[in-house]
């Protein structure tokens, strides 16, 4: 088609659209993709200014080769998705060099839409959602500019874009709420670029000299009922059973049997929205009875089917009062008693000594350990490095450490005394957001404690850190560590450093609540959809769903059409003129396409001579307006038009009344005639 | 192959006939909402493909934000459909005559567009076989557009149905409408140079008075529109005087007659072409002439009006209503 060529303004729009869509991607892609886009945009601008010509085919081929090399060197199988994005961006950049017609421009615009969508695979915060909306408006504006040949008028085009977007937003909300979500059709890869944070596969306290704690969010938990007390909030995630003398690690042996829970009482349910941890373990509260979308494995670990690579949520039901099976099979017993006997000899000796002094009474023994810790030990985030026999060194020399030290030493002492024991890693506590009714657990809440096996009660939780720093359990980690040098050491400017009190805290909590709602109602809407729809529609049937979609949808579309309906002109002169024409047409004097108002008035005068002064005036003013518009007030013409319209209407009524009288008279005469006959 | 071609041409003819039947001839037409057809375009197919890709991403990554963006695009698609339909609505189209052309040239017609109380953006106007004109009008604006249509033979020409279409605002839908303005034009014969006129003396009446003619320069006269440009006195214009034409005197007897009977060796259309050429040549030379055709005779005269009348007579000659007043002769 001939009219397929682009206006220069449309080209500017396209550059803006592509950059808006691509900008967030460029921040995480290698530098060469930015350079490529800058270069291609520059060439495009030069072509547009008429300085350069479109590049020949071999230049394009060379560029394609460069892109291919870049993709091969920068990306591998783990970063397949980013590589795809880089490929898409490269493709759009090259397309910039060969935009000739509208169709070429549409390719870029469609790619921009797609790039905005793909950005959501990497980032799903509120801000990135808002940014995407802005970028979307720009891309749409560029599409509208393609089909709007009005040059040098960016504002009308922008306004028309908003006229399209604004009614589309309620429609989008409607579709979002009602369209049922289905599970993935096939499994898809997602980049695991970020390093795993928080919990790790092993704990070796002696190797850490400085424990930095980050304020990064670990997960949020919303409770259906009351929130458990802080001292009960032990979120278990990992169980470390293997001890090599220095570090505790996850058991290599799989298929540990799950302990049977007898008589669970005080059930409570909660929903956890987990941040990406890139690991499959899910924190749960004791004692977990069921976890939606995950398996409960041995040692009451909840394991999801695949690593948590994106924010996801799951529901857990736990019981607050319970009895665990008390038997321990031989294999598990052996595993939870094993330790290298040639290391940490002083600890072993002390354990045996205390065990004998306690008369093999587990309770007294445990209390003794706790008392010992409470006497001279210091809880710190910056413990000294420990050499070989790290537990000996901790217990008898440094006596300074964090939860990993205390838990590890306690577990070893229990094992040395012949009590099966293991380390549990997870989170403790969490900040309660009263306004929104949920708990926020951050990485600094990471914690480790001990579980030992009691012959009567089964596995029992014991937290030795509570003995040395009970406030660690009673207060939040934030309140406790704020003075410690290691706290937030990696985030010197973290807002959490300054927002410990007052309105800043309130504001922080409000923002956090907003984020929580965003995650719950937008990002994980599929979990709420059924409940919401049931509460709205009563019962979910295909008919009700269709009606719920069609009725508001029709209302919105009707509103769009109503908004675009032909409106009465705002110009009083045009309105007066239309009224005059309407009245004249009603009397059989339709204004001809080439007829001036004056001519129409003269034509009317032949029949309606009674109002000829008004008609003459109209013709005169109209003529004067044509030839010397400055001398005539528009108001004068409007007045003349209105007056003529009014007079005409009166005349026509008079005429019709006379006609009616005449017909009445003639019919009377006819009647008279007929009776006379 | 031939069969397919014939079938498609048959379909085309049928379609044209159907459209013509559905759209009776009018002087002026308001494109109301019942007259607007609307269908998705190829760009819409691409858009839907994009939506499917995005939906697949949303489903497989269980990403509600991508769901949201997809739904937003679906909504925009629907809203843009209403806008596309509305863009064309209530536009007023009327005929404004034609521009006369010679056979073999593309015919040209003038169409007047008036926008309603909203702007009409990117309106494409075309006649079959002609080029597409794209116009954009602000609210209430008016514009006369000259449209080309297919080239025609000497005689009367109908451009057929006027097509209006627009894809604004997003190019995802195309709204269009047909208007039968009943426009028509007389196509002049194509001028073919050649032949010689019999000497003027042989055909003259006895001329005694001198009239404005060709032979002897008699003075300058102020230029009036329609005077032959060949006689403009460019020299006086260059001296800063108003536009003037040179005047010559010539005996009346020197006027020429162009007769149908001059070139019996030529076929009908060729004879019209030859006569057309001589009409134009005599006009260029500024000589008065008369025209004698089998069904019509124009007395000797000169000037633009005579030329127009002669060309029109040449165009109308032979057509069944050549005696009638020409339509659209404005």
Q: In angstroms, rounded to a whole number, what is the distance separating the alpha carbons of residues B209 and B207?
A: 6
High-pLDDT (> 90) share of chain A, %: 14
**A456: exposed, middle or buried (C-beta count within 10 Å: 0-12, 13-18, 19+)?**
exposed
Measure CA of the first residue to CA of the last residue in chain A; give whole Å.
Answer: 81
Q: Do B57 and A118 touch (CB under 8 A)?
A: yes
| B133 is a domain residue | yes
Query: Rounded to a whole number, what is the distance in Å from the CA of A555 to chain B's nearest CA?
Result: 12
Specify whether B223 is located in the same domain as B173.
Answer: no
The torsion angles phi and psi of A264, rounded to 5 degrees, stand at: -70, 135
At A476, is the pLDDT very low, low, confident or very high (cuts 50, 70, 90)?
low
Q: Return the pLDDT at B126.
A: 92
pLDDT band (50, 70, 90) for residue A385: confident
pLDDT at residue A215 is higher than 50: yes
> A271 lies in a domain?
yes
Contacts of A574 in chain B (CB under 8 A): 140
Give the residue from A121, A152, A183 where a domain finishes: A152
Of A150, A164, A524, the CB nearest to B83: A164
Residues A499 and A607 in one domain: no
B16 located within any domain? no
* Range in A39-43, A496-500, A575-579, B77-81 the model is least confident about: A496-500
Instruction: Identify which of A145-149, A447-451, B172-176, B278-282 has the greatest average pLDDT.
Output: B172-176
Specify the pLDDT at position B207.
Answer: 41
Query: What integer is the mean pLDDT of B126-145?
Result: 88
Same domain (yes/no): B149, B281: no
pLDDT at A206: 66
Q: Does B276 share its domain with B210?
A: yes
User: Worst-scoring range by mean pLDDT, A109-118, A187-196, B7-16, B157-166?
Assistant: A187-196
Which residues 149-178 of B are in CB contact (within 8 Å) with A?
167-171
Tell me if A147 and B65 make a contact (CB, 8 A cut-off): no
Q: Do A118 and B76 touch (CB under 8 A)?
A: no
The string over A341-376, giving b where at least 16 C-beta atoms fall within 10 Å of a residue's C-beta and e elsewhere, is eebbeebbebbeebbeebeeebeebbebbbebbeee
Quick one: tokens of A665? 């008279």
Residue B40 has pLDDT above 90, yes or no: yes
Closest CA to A655 of A595, A583, A602: A583
pLDDT, one tens digit per residue, over A59-82 is: 888 888 988 998 888 887 777 888
pLDDT number for residue A606: 82
Report the alpha-carbon distance of residue A412 to residue A420 in Å, rounded.
Answer: 10
Look at residue B172 in the predicted model and tell me its pLDDT: 95
Task: Show which of A152, A172, A188 is a domain's final residue.
Answer: A152
Mark whether B177 and B235 lie in a shared domain. no
A473 and A581, same structural domain? no
DSSP string, A104-129: HHHHHHHHHHHHHHHHHHH--SHHHH
Please tell me the distance in Å from B164's CA to the nearest CA on chain A. Answer: 14
Which pLDDT score is estimated for B218? Answer: 66
d(CA A19, CA B97): 50
Instruction: Examine the pLDDT at A101 and tell me if it is beyond 90.
Output: no
pLDDT of residue B253: 47
Q: What one-character DSSP code corresponds to residue A519? A: I
pLDDT at A135: 95
Task: Tell me whether residues B121 and A557 touch, CB distance under 8 A.
Answer: no
**Sign of the torsion angle spanned by Cα atoms A282, A284, A287, A293:** negative
Is residue A554 over pLDDT 50?
A: yes
- Output the pLDDT for position A134: 93
Can you tell me the mean pLDDT for A9-19? 87
Task: Give the distance from residue A531's alpha carbon to the nearest chain B alpha carbon, in angstroms.
Answer: 17
Query: Would the CB atoms of A120 and B63 count as touching at under 8 Å?
Result: yes
Same domain, A415 and A480: yes
Predicted local confidence at residue A136, as pLDDT: 95
Element (H, E) at B164: strand B162-166
Same domain, B183 and B206: no
Supply the pLDDT for residue A192.
45
| Domain shared by B120 and B47, yes or no | yes
Contacts of A535 (CB under 8 A, 6+ apart): none
In Å, how far from its chain's centre is CA A3?
41
Query: Which residue, of B187, B222, B245, is where some domain finishes?
Result: B187
Does the CB of A562 have a partner CB in chain B at under 8 Å? no
- My answer on whether B175 and B213 are in the same domain is no
Contact B279, B193 (CB under 8 A): no
| Total number of domains in chain B | 2
Q: For residue A214, which of A479, A515, A433, A478 has the smallest C-alpha distance?
A: A478
Question: A318 and A248, same structural domain?
Answer: yes
Looking at the domain assignment, is residue B215 inside a domain? Answer: yes
- The answer, for A147 touching chain B at a CB cutoff of 8 Å, is yes
- Across all residues in chain A, what is the average pLDDT? 81
Instruction: Give B55's pLDDT tier (boundaries 50, 70, 90).
Output: very high
Report if residue B1 sits inside a domain: no
Q: What is residue A630's DSSP assignment?
A: G
Is it the case that residue B321 has pLDDT exceeding 70? Answer: no
Q: Residue B172 has which token pair?
A: 């995802």
For B247, the 3-state DSSP assignment is strand
Q: What is the pLDDT of residues A483-527, one digit of tens each?
A: 555 555 444 445 555 555 667 777 877 887 787 788 778 887 887
Residue B99, strand partner residues: B108
With residues binned 3-state (H G I as helix, E B as strand, rest as coil), the percentages for chain B, rounded to 5, are 35, 30, 35
Residue B12 within a domain: no
Residues A180, A531: Cα–Cα separation, whole Å: 12
Distance CA A414, CA A333 (A): 13
Most confident by average pLDDT, A54-63, B37-46, B117-126, B181-190: B37-46
Segment A371-387 shows an average pLDDT of: 80
pLDDT score for A214: 64
Q: How far apart are the first and last CA of chain B?
A: 46
Nearest CB partner across the interface for B74, out of A164, A175, A526: A175
Q: Do A143 and B131 touch (CB under 8 A)?
A: no
Rounded distance between C-alpha atoms, residue A94 and residue A71, angstroms: 15
- Residues A497, A622, single domain; the answer is no
At which of B149, B166, B187 does a domain end? B187
- Residue B324 reports pLDDT greater than 60: no
Q: Is residue B158 part of a domain?
A: yes
Distance, CA of A370 to CA of A659 (rounded, Å): 116
SS (H, E, C) A424-471: EEEEECCEEECCCCEEEEEHHHEEEEEEEEECCCEEEEECHHHHHCHH
Give the tens place of pLDDT for each residue, B151-206. 888 888 888 889 999 998 899 999 999 999 888 888 999 888 877 776 654 444 44
Any A CB within 8 A of B219 CB: no
In this structure, the answer to whether residues B237 and B180 fall within a common structural domain is: no
Residue B296: per-residue pLDDT: 83
Tell me the pLDDT band of B327, cut-offs 50, 70 and 90: very low
Does any domain span residue A547? no
DSSP state of A483: T
In the predicted model, is pLDDT for residue B228 greater than 80? no
pLDDT top residue among B307 and A443: B307
Q: Is B132 exposed, middle or buried (0-12, 13-18, 19+ CB in 10 A)?
A: middle
Phi, psi torsion values for A647, nearest 5 degrees: -60, -45
* Residue B75 to residue A132, Cβ atoms within 8 A: no
| Same-domain pairing of B89 and B173 | yes
B131 vs B151: CA distance, rounded Å: 12
Q: Give pLDDT, residue B145.
A: 92
Q: Is residue B60 in some structural domain?
A: yes
What are A445-457's pLDDT values in tens digits? 888 899 998 888 8
Mean pLDDT across B196-219:
53
The reported pLDDT for the residue numbered A479 is 56
| A488 lies in the same domain as A608 | no
Binned at pLDDT 50, 70 and 90, residue A550 comes out as: very high
Which domain range does residue A140 map to? 2-152
**A607-642, pLDDT tens digit by residue?**
887 788 888 888 888 888 777 766 667 778 888 888
Residues B160, B212, single domain; the answer is no
Residues A527-547, mean pLDDT to the nearest whole number = 85
Over residues A271-294, the pLDDT tens digits come to 888 888 877 888 998 888 888 878
Round to whole Å and give the CA distance between B309 and B297: 10
What are the two backbone dihedrals, phi and then psi, of residue A520, each rounded to the nearest 5 degrees? Answer: -75, -45
Give the residue from A200, A214, A570, A203 showing the smallest Cα distance to A412.
Answer: A203
Strands annotated E in B223-267 = 244-251, 256-259
- Spatial contact of A451 and A444, defined as CB atoms under 8 Å apart: no
Please, what is the average pLDDT of chain B?
A: 82
What does A353-408 look like in DSSP terms, one character per residue?
Answer: HHHHHTTT-HHHHHHHHHHHHHHH-EE-SSPPP--SSHHHHIIIII-EE-HHHHHH
Same domain? B150 vs B95: yes
Does B166 lie in the same domain as B204? Answer: no
What distances in angstroms separate CA B98 from CA A453, A473, B30, B186, B279, one per listed residue? 104, 94, 21, 9, 21
Q: Is the pLDDT of residue A103 over 80?
A: yes
- DSSP letter at B105 equals S
Cβ proximity of B166 and B121 under 8 Å: yes
Distance CA B19, CA B11 (A): 12
Report residue B64 as tokens: 């509600």
Q: Is residue A170 part of a domain?
A: no
Same domain, A273 and A367: yes
**DSSP secondary structure letter of residue A7:** P
| Structure confidence by residue, pLDDT tens digits, B65-111 | 999 999 999 999 999 999 999 999 889 999 888 888 888 888 899 99
Q: Which of B187, B218, B249 is the last residue of a domain?
A: B187
Beta bridge partners of B291: B258, B298
What's the rounded Cα separation, in Å, for the pair A248 and A241? Answer: 7
Q: Is residue A285 part of a domain?
A: yes
Q: For residue A675, is pLDDT > 50?
A: no
Q: Are A477 and A620 in the same domain?
A: no
Q: How many separate domains does chain A show?
A: 3
A677 vs B42, which has greater pLDDT? B42
Min mean pLDDT across A419-433, A482-496, A598-612, B239-253 is at A482-496
At which of A456, A486, A503 does a domain end? A503
Q: How far is CA A507 from CA A271, A273, A276, in A?
A: 24, 21, 25
Residue A252 pLDDT level (bands cut at 50, 70, 90):
low
Q: Are B62 and B217 in contact (CB under 8 A)?
A: no
pLDDT at A149 over 80: no
Is the same domain home to A121 and A218? no
Strand partners, A317: A269, A290
Other Cβ atoms within 10 Å of B305 Cβ, number:
10
pLDDT at A253 (0 to 100): 60
Question: So which residues of A are the catalytic ones?
Answer: 403, 447, 463
- State whether A208 and A274 are in the same domain: yes
> Which SS3 state, helix, strand or coil, does residue B244 take?
strand
Structural domain including B122 reads 22-187
> How would residue B249 be classed by pLDDT, with cut points 50, 70 and 90?
low
Contact A135, A43 (CB under 8 A): no
Residues A307 and A401 in one domain: yes
DSSP string, B110-136: EEEEE--SS-EEEEEEE-TTSPPEEEE
The mean per-residue pLDDT over the stretch A150-156 comes to 62
Token pair recorded at residue A433: 């957001």
Q: In this structure, is residue B114 part of a structural domain?
A: yes
Please report the pLDDT score of residue A496 as a whole number: 55
Nearest to A113 among B67, B73, B78 (CB): B73
Comparing alpha-carbon positions, the chain A residue that sits nearest to B80 is A164
Tokens matching residue A58: 């071999």
pLDDT, residue B202, reads 41
CA distance B292 to B88: 50
- pLDDT higher for A491 or B329? A491
Please name the residues between 38 and 77 in chain B that touch chain A, using a CB distance below 8 Å. Answer: 43, 46-47, 50, 53-54, 56-76
Task: Write the residue in A103, A165, A172 that is nearest to B68 by C-beta.
Answer: A172
Which of A359-363, A506-510, B13-17 is predicted least confidently? A506-510
Q: How many Å lie between the alpha carbon of B211 and the closest alpha carbon of chain A?
A: 40
A139 and A211, same domain (yes or no): no
Tokens of A367: 């209390």
């Amino acid at each position: 088609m001939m009219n397929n060529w682009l206006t220069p303004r449309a080209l500017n729009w396209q550059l803006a659209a592509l950059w808006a869509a691509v900008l967030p991607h460029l921040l995480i892609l290698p530098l060469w993709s930015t350079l490529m886009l800058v270069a291609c945009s520059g060439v495009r601008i030069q072509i547009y200014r008429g300085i350069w010509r479109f590049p020949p085919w071999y230049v394009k081929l060379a560029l394609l080769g460069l892109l291919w090399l870049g993709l091969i060197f920068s990306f591998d199988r783990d970063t397949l998705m980013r590589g795809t994005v880089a490929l898409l961006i490269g493709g759009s950049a090259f397309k910039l060099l060969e935009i000739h017609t509208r169709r070429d421009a549409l390719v870029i615009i469609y790619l921009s839409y797609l790039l905005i969508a793909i950005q959501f695979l990497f980032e799903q915060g509120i801000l990135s959602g808002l940014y995407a909306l802005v970028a979307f408006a720009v891309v749409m504006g560029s599409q509208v500019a393609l089909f709007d040949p009005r040059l040098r008028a960016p504002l009308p085009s922008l306004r028309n874009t908003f006229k399209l977007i604004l009614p589309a937003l309620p429609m989008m909300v409607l579709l979002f709420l009602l369209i049922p979500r289905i599970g993935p059709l096939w499994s898809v890869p997602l980049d695991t670029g970020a390093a795993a944070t928080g919990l790790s596969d092993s704990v070796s306290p002696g190797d850490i000299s400085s424990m930095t704690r980050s304020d990064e969010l670990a997960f949020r938990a919303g409770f259906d009922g009351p929130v458990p007390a802080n001292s009960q909030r032990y979120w278990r995630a990992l169980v470390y059973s293997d001890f090599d003398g220095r570090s505790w690690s996850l058991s290599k042996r799989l298929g540990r049997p799950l302990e049977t829970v007898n008589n669970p009482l005080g059930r409570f349910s909660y929903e956890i929205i987990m941040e990406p941890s890139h690991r499959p373990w899910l924190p749960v509260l004791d004692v977990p009875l069921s976890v939606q979308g995950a398996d409960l494995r041995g040692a009451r670990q909840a394991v999801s089917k695949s690593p948590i690579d994106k924010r996801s949520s799951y529901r857990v039901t736990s019981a607050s009062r319970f009895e665990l099976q008390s038997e321990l099979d031989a294999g598990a017993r052996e595993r939870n008693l094993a330790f290298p006997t040639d290391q940490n000899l002083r600890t072993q000796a002390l354990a045996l000594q205390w065990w004998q002094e306690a008369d093999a009474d587990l309770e007294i023994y445990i209390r003794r350990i706790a008392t010992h810790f409470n006497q001279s030990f210091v809880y710190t985030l910056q413990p000294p490095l420990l050499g070989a026999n790290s537990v000996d060194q901790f217990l008898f020399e440094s006596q300074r450490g964090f939860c990993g030290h205390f838990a590890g030493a306690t577990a070893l002492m229990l094992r040395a005394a012949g009590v099966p024991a293991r380390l549990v890693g997870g989170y403790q506590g969490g900040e309660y957001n009263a306004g929104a009714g949920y708990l926020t657990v951050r990485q600094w809440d990471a914690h480790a404690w001990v579980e030992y096996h009691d012959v009567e009660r089964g596995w029992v939780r014991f937290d030795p850190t509570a003995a040395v720093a009970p406030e660690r359990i009673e207060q939040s980690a934030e309140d406790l560590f704020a003075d410690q040098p290691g706290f937030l050491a990696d985030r010197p400017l973290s807002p959490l450093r300054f927002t410990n009190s007052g309105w800043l805290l309130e504001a922080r909590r409000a923002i956090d609540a907003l984020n929580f709602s965003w995650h719950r109602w937008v990002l994980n809407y599929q979990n709420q959809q059924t409940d919401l729809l049931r509460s709205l529609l009563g019962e979910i049937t295909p008919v009700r769903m269709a009606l719920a979609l069609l009725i508001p949808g029709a209302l919105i579309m009707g509103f769009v059409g109503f908004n675009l309906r032909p409106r009465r002109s705002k110009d009083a002169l045009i309105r007066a003129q239309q009224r005059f024409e309407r009245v004249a047409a009603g009397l059989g004097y339709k204004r001809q396409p080439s007829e001036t108002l004056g001519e129409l008035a003269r034509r009317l005068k032949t029949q309606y001579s009674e109002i000829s002064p008004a008609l003459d005036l109209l013709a005169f003013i109209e003529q004067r307006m044509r030839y010397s518009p400055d001398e005539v007030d528009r108001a004068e013409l409007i007045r003349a038009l209105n007056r003529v319209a009014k007079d005409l209407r009166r005349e026509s009524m008079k005429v019709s009344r006379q006609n009616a009288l005449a017909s009445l008279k003639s019919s009377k005469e006819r009647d008279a005639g007929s009776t006379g006959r | 192959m031939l069969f397919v071609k014939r079938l498609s041409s048959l379909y085309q003819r049928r379609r044209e006939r159907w459209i013509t039947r559905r759209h009776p001839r009018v002087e002026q037409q308001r494109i109301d909402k019942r007259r607007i057809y609307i269908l998705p375009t190829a760009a819409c197919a691409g858009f839907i493909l994009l939506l499917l890709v995005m939906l697949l991403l949303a489903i497989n990554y269980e990403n509600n934000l991508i769901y949201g963006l997809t739904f937003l695009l679906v909504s925009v698609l629907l809203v843009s459909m209403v806008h596309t339909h509305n863009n064309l609505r209530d536009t007023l189209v009327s005929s404004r005559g034609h521009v006369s052309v010679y056979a073999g040239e593309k015919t040209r017609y003038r169409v007047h567009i008036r926008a309603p109380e909203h702007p009409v953006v990117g309106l494409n106007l075309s006649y079959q076989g002609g080029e597409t004109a794209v116009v954009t009008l602000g609210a209430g604006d008016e514009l006369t557009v000259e449209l080309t249509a297919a080239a025609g033979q000497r005689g009367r020409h109908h451009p057929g149905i006027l097509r209006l279409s627009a894809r604004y605002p997003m190019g995802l839908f195309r709204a269009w409408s047909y208007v039968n303005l009943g426009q028509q034009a007389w196509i002049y014969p194509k001028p073919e140079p050649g032949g010689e006129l019999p000497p003027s003396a042989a055909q003259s009446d006895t001329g005694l008075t001198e009239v404005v003619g060709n032979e002897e320069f008699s003075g300058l006269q102020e230029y009036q529109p329609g005077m032959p440009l060949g006689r403009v006195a460019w020299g006086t214009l260059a001296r800063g005087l108003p536009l003037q034409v040179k005047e010559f005197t010539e005996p009346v007897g020197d006027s020429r007659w162009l007769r149908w009977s001059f070139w019996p060796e030529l076929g009908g259309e060729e004879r019209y072409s030859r006569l057309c050429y001589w009409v134009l040549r005599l006009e260029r030379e500024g000589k008065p002439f008369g025209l004698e055709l089998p069904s019509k005779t124009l007395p000797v005269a000169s000037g633009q009006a005579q030329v127009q009348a002669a060309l029109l007579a040449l165009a109308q000659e032979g057509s069944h209503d050549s005696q009638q007043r020409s339509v659209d002769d404005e």
